[in-house]
Every structure is written in structure tokens, then in C-alpha cells.
Structure 1
Amino acid sequence: MKRKFAVASLSIILFGTSINSLSLKAADPIKSIEKRQAIQRLEGLSNGKLKMYDKNGQLFLSGQLSKKQKVGKKAAIDFLQNNKSILGIENASSDLEAVKTKNDNKHTYVKFVQVINGIKVDNTCLNVHFNRKGYITSVNGNLEKFKEIKSLGGRTISAEDAVSIAKKQYSYDSLRFEPKAEEVIVNKNGINYQVYKVNISFMKPNITNHDVYVEVHSGKVIKTENNIRMNGPITGSGVDVFGKKRKLSLYRVSEKYKMKDVTRDGTEGILTYNLNNKTSGEKLVSSTKKAFSGEKYKAPVSAHYNAGSVIDFYRKLFDRDSLDDEGMPIVSYTHYKKKFNNAFWDGYEMIYGDGDGKKFTYLSGDLGIVAHEMTHGVISNTADLEYHNESGSLNESIADVFGVLISTYDKYKVSSGGKWKFNKKDWVIGDGVYTPRKTGDALRSLADPTLYEQPDNMDDYVYCDDVKEEDWGGVHLNSGIPNKAAYLIAKKIGMEKTAKIYYRALVEYMNPSTDFEDAKNCLLQAAEDLYGEKAEVQAISVAFDSVGIY
């Protein structure tokens, strides 16, 4: 099920722009060269996995951006100074001011605001994130590119004058509190102004909470900002692929409800998009109602709900923060192409086809498939098993195993106290969406791989060439062998122990070239770590022996 959604021509992944458009058209060729060099340096530190977005004033950098160091304000400032050409600043110490440092025992971030001529720039910020090991892993925020300040007059008013001017803009019974004036830089229509920001808040005649921006050199009101927000996280619902009503975590923006979940621990957010049966032009799924119903919403509802179930599983059982254990957002694209009979993880997000209605229906409807594909994201951020021959088959097998584990964890409501049952009928992938007009079949069976033309023993291993046309050495065929072993292990020791052993083996012991025999050794060691030399170790040994992996 794993395919490439998009292939970048450069090893650096640039979201929303290209390396040539990252403000490199600046008049100063030296700064352009410095910027290219800085990007190349970060790409090297990230081992070619640098992600970068620089568009409309928003900057996002992600990867291993630094060497290991002492976490804190100084390290953050040093990093920003060394990469000032990317940020468009001259001096990190004078152009930025640290306003907050937060540590949650796993991650630390230092928050900065931009400063021009010693005055804070309103609504700017830059966050530098450190992981628990002391590496800078992301930088994000927004800065004003232009430093010039326009004056609208020849005088300078006082803070008291600004408060008086702001008060005169309103009629009220009484203010909540006596306003104060804060001197800031504000950008309006691409022009910077030096202003006093004054908050005016009262209850009668109507509840009001406005920021009034008064230009320092003229006393003119540049703009007002309404601080009363009707936006934010909200609970809604939707009807999924199978007609089930699902509770959804949404985000309200004005009069629209969007499939954006910012409430879950362990991830920066779950966002679900509609590609409208194309390969680009995605839009965040939204509606004027918080109840999503109708045919066009079935696939997005399932994708959004199921993604949350997967994230919750990894968080609750293994305290894992999203697929990369760094809280990465979960992005799903639904309605990919027309009648597309597949789903895949492309290294950064989930892609779901609608199916042709015969071989498949909406693939996001099956939690096992969603869990399988998202687990590829966990694998690529842990063992990173090479997608060829035995290691590739093992990659597919582990994704299948967790597909079953996650779907049954949800089915039996384990997080709410339900018993995590072992049931042979559950050990299939894709039964919910495969051949929708036919009941009782599935895409694959881990209990009996031979039902769907997969081998279940090394005696029947299918030797294929390591080329795309032969599925990179038959990764989707030969995964049946370790799949059968996993089924036998779970049958003997139960679902929870199987999950814990497989996760530990994947995260702590497996590596990119792990083959079937080595996987057995990794699982044996993980079981011994967790449970000692007991029945669990014996179950793994017997299961792998029975499929010809000695």
C-alpha cells in the first residue's frame, strides 16, 4: 500500500515555494549566496530531510537543524544569528527579543518577537524548538521583511494623548479598567507605522473589547482590532463511509467549521483535506454546519476520525507524540484522483483514493488500512526499514500487524476499559472497503495469508527482482510469512503483549536492513526485556519456527 505521492527534484523538501523563490531575488547578491549556503548547511545537518516553508511572511523549518547543545535562550539566539540570511534579519540580538521559554521535560521552545528600532513589532513571533536530546528540530513564525517606518505627522503624541484619542472612538457607560498605551510597530497594507496600542473594553451598551492603534506622530487611528473571538476548537459530528455517526473534533473559523483537530495530545493537529478527485488544489474540508453529512463528506469524516484513533493508540500505549514522536501534524488528503484504488503514506501525509466502487470503496473508511499506512510513518521515523526484499516485506508486515492491533483496540473499546480480545476473524486487512459488493473477503489475511495468494512459510517464499515492476522484491507478497508468525504469537500471548513487544522491537532494535531472521531476534530480545525468559519468548520462537524462520 505504500507508494510515492510526489517526488521532489531536490533532497530538501520545500513546501509552498521553491529554492529559487525564497526571497533570493533580493538586490544584494551576497545575501542571496549566504541564504543558499545557510539552506545547504541545514540540509546537511538534516541528512537531506530538511522541510522548509517560506511564503506570505510565514516561515517553517523542520529537521535536525543543529548539533547537540545546551538547551536555552543563548543557543536559540546563536542559531538564529547563524541563519539570519534565511530569516531576513541583520542581528538576532537586536532584531529579536526573547519573551518566553517553556520546558515540558520532553521539549523546550524559546519564543521571540521582532523588534525594530527597539520597539516590538505587533503580531510577530519566532519559535525555536529543541527536542529532549538538545537538538533544534524546528523553527517557525512570522517576521516583517521590511524595516522602514512611515510617519504620518511631524509631532509626537504622548501615551496619555493616545489613550484619550482611543476613548473618544466609543460611547460607553463605563470601562472595565483604565486603558494603558503600549508602543508597538504595526503593519497595515505592507507599511509599518509606529503606534500606541490601546485596549478599550466595556460591557454596556454592547460588550466590546477592541485594540485601537493610534499613530505616534499624528494621533490618527490607523486601525482597530476586535478581540472578541467566535473561533476555536469545537465538537461536531459526521457520517462516515459505513453510515456511522462519528464524533469529530473541529475548528470553527467565523461561520465555518473545518476538519482541523487541535485538541489531541501528542500532535500539533489533525488536518483533513479534499483534493476533489485531482492531485493538487487541496482545500481543508469545511462546512457551514458542524454536522458533516452527505456523500462528499463520508471519506473525509472517516479519514479525520480514524487518524485520531491511530494517534490516540500510539499516545496511550507508548506515550508516542505522533508518528515522528515529535508531535508532527497529521495531514490527510481525501478524494485523490478519480476511482483510485489505493491509499498510501508519502513520507509526510496520508493520501486516500475513493476506489472504483467495485474493487474498493472509499479507502479511508477502513481503520485497519488507515492504521497500516500511518504506521509506515512510525516505521520511517524509527527502524526505517528499507523497502526492498525481506526488509521491505517486514515493513509491510509490521504495518499490517499494527493495522490489526489498532483496529481491534478501537473495536473492543480498550481505552474505555473494554477487554482486548483475540479473534481470528479480526486478523484481516481491508475487509471493510475491499470488494464492497461482496461480503466475507479482505485484501489480506494474517491468519491465513494463502487465502489471498501470499505465502505463509519460507518454503514458499516468492523470489522477485528488486524492481518496481516486481514490487521491489515482492514486498506485498512475502509479508504473508511474518504476518502468519505475528498472528500465531498473538494467539498464544494475547493482543496487548504482542503490541508492546512489536513496538519495542521496532523502536529499540530493528534497523533499515533487518531481515526476517533478524526480526525474530529483535522480537525475542524485546520480549525478554519486557517479560523475562518466559512464555512470551517461547511463543515467538515457536511461531517463527513454524513459518520456516529459524
Structure 2
Amino acid sequence: MKKKVIAPVVLSSALLFGAVPMSSVFANSDSTVSSVQAQKVWNEKANVPVFVKEKHAAKFSASTSSNALNYLKQNEKKTGLKNADKNLKVKEVLKDELGMTHVRFNQSVNGVPVEGSEVVVHFNGENEVQSVNGRVNQTLVDESVNTSPSVTAEEALEIAKKSVNAPDELTYEPTSELVVLPFEGENHTAYKTNVNFMGDAPGNWYVFVDANNGKVIDKYNAIMHADEIKTQKGVGLGVHGAHRELHISKVKQPNSGTQFALADYSHENLEGIFTFDSKNDGTTSNDTLYTGNSASFKSDYDRAAVDAHYNSEKVYDYYLNEHGRNSLDDEGMAIVSYVHYGQNYNNAFWNGAWMTYGDGDGEFMTSLSAGLDVAAHEMTHGVISKTANLVYRGQPGALNESIADIFGALVDDSDWEIGEDIMAPAAKEDGLTRLRSMSDPNSVKVTNEQRAAYATDERKVYPDHMDEFYNMPNSVDNGGVHINSSITNHAAYLIGKEIGREALGKIFYRALTVYLTPTSNFSDARVAVVQSATDLYGEDSAETAAVNAGFDAVGIY
């Protein structure tokens, strides 16, 4: 008798939904959702969209942050932003390949940044303000907030670590930043802490600790040299037997002589591409750079590492060649992957610093590093964190997941499916042939557990239209970040079929790096993508028309 495959459902910035106990993930019914939502207090002024598009803007002498601020001060009625010089703080000034300059501001109170509230002023090549977009908290214009903390940053970090059961061994030094946090109808002065760890339940936790009383206000899990090194060519076999040419390095080890490492230093201005072995032992202290005794990596155990190393370079090449981006941060940061993570681990994730791949259980999934789209998805989470930094909750989180899927399908351009190369034979026999489909989201077969959790009545698990949007509590899939991502995925597919993958990639990359802000929702994304198409191809172009039609088709207006 054929063995039925049970898929795990996830709660992390990972490819699927997360390896956590079923009882802690699944919603029982729509009543669960409504009861959680009913407890929340919503203040619509706490997250107000800003969008101004000028036809005949005043020309400035230069595209500077001070002139951007002058524009905002002179146009309070258009933007709704009061006292811009007092309430905005310059975050970044970026000049792009079109000659445009983009000045990004963070809303602030007494110099303390407001979490998620950013405004971007866009100058054209003639030093004219072309548009303004973003989201701001207008309650802070009229309400006073005491930004002097009573709790220290060190105390906040200890509280944060305890709240997420962080182990003693952390991936990297935890961070803490004082922010103003709009949450459930109130503005809090809080420490935004980031605690990152591996282990059986890996975490990239953002914990907000009240700076006055030390209570946890909110938290969410955003799971996303040897001497004489000389890079040379090596070879290996991938998970599915494909022959791979690799960039590797010869290293001298103190006790084992010369070995060959999956360490690639061949790319100019890049720190390197490295693949590590997690050894399936559940700890990070034993992880090492992946090495072999020859330049040929062809054993069964090698295959996951071979694909991870090979695919990392493919994704790096895509971003460099298509978008002129030098690594995930555009500054040449090292690209790092860990393979053989956990035991029978059916997931892959970006933890804020590197990619991690499980081996799969052999029934639902094979090694997750086998998927080029998986690698591109996880690495794109890194790009997102260094650009728009979309909050991993609700619609911004679904956009985060969707953009990762879109670039996964652009890098692995064989189809519009996600995860088709990591499904195990038993899963395929049960009709579970991929994780998500951009071309036909409704067609993806899921397990009974997933359907029970997400699809009441006859609703689809993966919607392709806003009529099927899931209003989920934050406790389930971070508010539907994986489920609802299929709506914007489908819009991207429809656009791509009309204008081609290259134009689609250029438009969405521009939207991500220039227009989107941390709390952008689906409607903001439409505005950002349409404006990006207009910038690149013109307002009356076929590309801009296709973008509008694609979003219309999925009900995002």
C-alpha cells in the first residue's frame, strides 16, 4: 500500500511554513481568526499611505536630502506630512542607473526612529521631484511620546532572549535599537532586539521590549581563512545526479595536510561563496567548512553541498548580471550556505545571515539544496532585508514571500513553479509535485492538514485573487505570509507572460529597491510596480499596461 505523505506546516521566514508541532500551528476554524482580531485595537492613522505623483514639480538646484526636505515642507497639504524637518530623519540617498535620485527618510520622534514608517522622495534627472511614497504614523504628529528609556538595552536583551527560550549559543551577537513602536492602537517606546540562533527550532527573532516597564510588547520569528588560499576548478554531482563545475579552494589543514574546500574567492569585490557542513547533529559548534580530499565531490553525502555551492553562485551571477547588484547587500558580503541541517528536516531558511538547507525526510522532500529556485528564494530574502526590509507579518510579509518566489522563478527560469526539484518520489506519487505555482496557485495539491488549517468550506489553500484572501491571526503563518503570497505571485506571472522574464525582473527589482518600504501592503506594491514600469519603459508603454492588467486580474487596485 502506498504510504501517504504528511507535510509539515511552517511558522518561519522559510521556504514553506516551518517545522513545528501541528497543534501549535493550525487554526481550528474561522472563529479562531475572528476572536483574535476582535481583541485588537486598530488606529488607521498609525499607518497612513503617502503617495504623490507630480506632473510639473518645481525644479531644485540639486537632488539632495535638504531639497527633498524643502519639498516636503512646502507641500504639506499634498503629502499630509507636518513638520517634516522635525519629524523625518535621512536614512539613505541613492542614485540609480536612470539618473534618478531617491531620498529615503525614517519618521522619528526626538531622533528615535518610528518602526516601519518611511517616506521616499524621488527626483528625476533634472532635479525635479517626480513622486513621493511611503507610510507614516500621523498619530505622532498630535500625540507626545516619552522617548527616554527606564530600561537599559542590556536588560532588554536579556528579557528578549528569555521570551524566546534562546540557547546560550547564539549565531551572532544580539542587537538592540531604541524605536517608537505603533502597536494595537498605542505608540510605545521600545527596544527592537534581534536574537538569532540555530538548533532544533532555529530562530531569527525580533522582540520588542517596552523601554519603560520591560514587558514584551510584540515578537515574531523572521526565519530568512586558511593560509595560501587559491581558488581553482572542481567538479561534483548534484542531488539528482547533474554534473556540476565548481569554484573551490585548496587549503592546508594542520593535521590532515592539503584538502579542498567549497570556498570560492574567484569573484572580484565579493568576500566569497562558502558552503558549510552542519553534520545533522543539531548543534552549531561542530559545523565546519565543507572539505574533501580531492577536487571531485561525488559521494552521496557530498551532493547536497555540491548543489548548495553551485546554486549560490548561480544566484549571485543573476543579481550581478541582471541588476548590477554585488551580493545580497550590494557591497560584496560573503554568501554562506549550511547543508545537512537537522535530522530529516523538511525545510530551508534564511536566518538573517546565511542560507540553511535540510536533507528532507526522503518521503515528502529530498535535500532542499537541490532546488535552484529554493536557493534563489532564500537568498532573495537576504536582498529584501537589505533593501525594503518588508516586515515579516501580514501583507508586508506576504509581499516578502512573494518577491522571494518571483525571483526564485526568474533565476530558475524553466517554469513558474516553486520547489518542483525538491519533492520526494512518495510525495509525487500522492500528487504533491511542487510547493507553490505562480501560474495556477489553486492547482497545488496540499495535505489534509494544510486544508484543515487554512481552507474552510470550499476555499482554496493558495488563493489567486483578493476575493480569496485569508485574514489570519499573526499566530498562524505570521498572518498568512506564505498563503496570501500566491495572489501577488499570480499577478507577477500574468505580467511576465506578457512582457517576458527580463522586463518583469527589472520592474520588480526597481520596485523592491526604490519604492517599497517596510510596511508596504498589496496596494502599495501595485503603485510601486506600476511606477517602476513607468520609470523604465514609459507611462504609455506595453510594460506599464501589462503591470496594470496583471494587478487588476487578481483584484489588487
Counterpart contact for 1:350–1:374, Cα < 8 Å: yes
User: Which structure 2 segments of 5+ residues have no match?
Assistant: 1-11, 20-156, 180-190, 196-224, 253-257, 445-460
Structure 2 Cα separation of the partners of residues 463 and 40 of structure 1: 31
Evaluate the alpha carbon distance shift between residue 42 and residue 332 of structure 1 in structure 2; reply closer, same or farther with a 3 A threshold. farther
In structure 2, the partner of 1:544 is 551
1:267 positional shift: 2.2
In structure 2, the partner of 1:433 is 422
Evaluate the alpha carbon distance shift between residue 507 and residue 18 of structure 1 in structure 2; reply closer, same or farther with a 3 A threshold. closer
Structure 1 Cα separation of the partners of residues 229 and 550 of structure 2: 54
Evaluate the alpha carbon distance shift between residue 50 and residue 321 of structure 1 in structure 2; reply closer, same or farther with a 3 A threshold. farther
In structure 1, the partner of 2:437 is 445
CA shift digits 1:92-119 (9 cap, x unpaired): xxxxxxxxxxxxxxxxxxxxxxxxxxxx
CA shift digits 1:10-33 (9 cap, x unpaired): 99999999989xxxxxxxxxxxxx
Structure 1 Cα separation of the partners of residues 474 and 193 of structure 2: 25
> Which SS does the other structure have where 1:276 is aligned?
coil
- 1:264 aligns to 2:267 (yes or no): yes
Larger radius of gyration: 1
1:266 positional shift: 5.0
Counterpart contact for 2:13–2:392, Cα < 8 Å: no
Counterpart contact for 1:237–1:248, Cα < 8 Å: yes
1:428 positional shift: 0.4
Counterpart contact for 1:310–1:406, Cα < 8 Å: yes
Counterpart contact for 1:234–1:249, Cα < 8 Å: yes
Please tell me the residue identity of whatever aligns with 2:372: L
Evaluate the alpha carbon distance shift between residue 476 and residue 501 of structure 1 in structure 2; reply closer, same or farther with a 3 A threshold. same
- Farther-moved stretch of structure 1 (250-259 vs 355-364): 250-259
- 1:238 aligns to 2:236 (yes or no): yes
Match of 1:2 among 1, 7, 13: 13
Q: How does 1:257-296 map to 2 (within 5 A)?
A: 257-278=260-281, 279-280=283-284, 281-296=286-301
Match of 1:247 among 245, 248, 257: 245
Evaluate the alpha carbon distance shift between residue 234 and residue 15 of structure 1 in structure 2; reply closer, same or farther with a 3 A threshold. farther
In structure 2, the partner of 1:309 is 314
- 1:512 aligns to 2:501 (yes or no): no
In structure 2, the partner of 1:458 is 466
Q: How does 1:16-27 map to 2 (within 5 A)?
A: none
CA shift digits 1:356-383 (9 cap, x unpaired): 0011000001000110011000001000
Please tell me the residue identity of whatever aligns with 2:400: N
CA shift digits 1:418-474 (9 cap, x unpaired): xxxxxxxx000000112334277211000011112300000010110012xx11111
Structure 2 Cα separation of the partners of residues 49 and 433 of structure 1: 34
Structure 2 Cα separation of the partners of residues 354 and 40 of structure 1: 34
Q: How does 1:13-412 map to 2 (within 5 A)?
A: 231-254=229-252, 255-278=258-281, 279-280=283-284, 281-408=286-413
Structure 2 Cα separation of the partners of residues 347 and 447 of structure 1: 29
Structure 2 Cα separation of the partners of residues 454 and 464 of structure 1: 13
1:245 positional shift: 1.1
Match of 1:486 among 477, 489, 492: 492
Evaluate the alpha carbon distance shift between residue 296 and residue 317 of structure 1 in structure 2; reply closer, same or farther with a 3 A threshold. same
> Which SS does the other structure have where 1:242 is aligned?
coil
Evaluate the alpha carbon distance shift between residue 230 and residue 382 of structure 1 in structure 2; reply closer, same or farther with a 3 A threshold. closer
1:49 positional shift: 9.0
Counterpart contact for 2:463–2:486, Cα < 8 Å: yes
1:233 positional shift: 1.2
Counterpart contact for 1:2–1:343, Cα < 8 Å: no
In structure 1, the partner of 2:25 is none
In structure 2, the partner of 1:528 is 534
Counterpart contact for 1:368–1:407, Cα < 8 Å: yes
Evaluate the alpha carbon distance shift between residue 356 and residue 535 of structure 1 in structure 2; reply closer, same or farther with a 3 A threshold. same
Structure 2 Cα separation of the partners of residues 231 and 323 of structure 1: 24
Please tell me the residue identity of whatever aligns with 1:546: A
In structure 2, the partner of 1:225 is none
> Which SS does the other structure have where 1:477 is aligned?
coil
Q: TM-score, normalised by structure 1?
A: 0.57
Evaluate the alpha carbon distance shift between residue 341 and residue 246 of structure 1 in structure 2; reply closer, same or farther with a 3 A threshold. same
1:326 positional shift: 1.3
Evaluate the alpha carbon distance shift between residue 17 and residue 541 of structure 1 in structure 2; reply closer, same or farther with a 3 A threshold. closer
Please tell me the residue identity of whatever aligns with 2:237: V
> Which SS does the other structure have where 2:387 is aligned?
coil
Aligned-residue Cα RMSD (Å) equals: 3.1
Evaluate the alpha carbon distance shift between residue 17 and residue 384 of structure 1 in structure 2; reply closer, same or farther with a 3 A threshold. closer
Counterpart contact for 1:429–1:444, Cα < 8 Å: yes
Structure 1 Cα separation of the partners of residues 305 and 423 of structure 2: 18
> Which SS does the other structure have where 2:366 is aligned?
coil
Provide the identity percentage: 43
Evaluate the alpha carbon distance shift between residue 17 and residue 405 of structure 1 in structure 2; reply closer, same or farther with a 3 A threshold. closer
Counterpart contact for 1:285–1:300, Cα < 8 Å: yes
Please tell me the residue identity of whatever aligns with 2:435: L
Evaluate the alpha carbon distance shift between residue 322 and residue 230 of structure 1 in structure 2; reply closer, same or farther with a 3 A threshold. closer
Evaluate the alpha carbon distance shift between residue 458 and residue 266 of structure 1 in structure 2; reply closer, same or farther with a 3 A threshold. farther
Counterpart contact for 2:230–2:265, Cα < 8 Å: no
Counterpart contact for 2:236–2:296, Cα < 8 Å: yes
1:321 positional shift: 1.2
> Which SS does the other structure have where 1:256 is aligned?
strand
Structure 1 Cα separation of the partners of residues 337 and 172 of structure 2: 23
1:9 positional shift: 5.6
Evaluate the alpha carbon distance shift between residue 40 and residue 456 of structure 1 in structure 2; reply closer, same or farther with a 3 A threshold. closer
Counterpart contact for 1:266–1:322, Cα < 8 Å: no
Please tell me the residue identity of whatever aligns with 1:358: E
Evaluate the alpha carbon distance shift between residue 15 and residue 537 of structure 1 in structure 2; reply closer, same or farther with a 3 A threshold. farther
Please tell me the residue identity of whatever aligns with 1:232: K
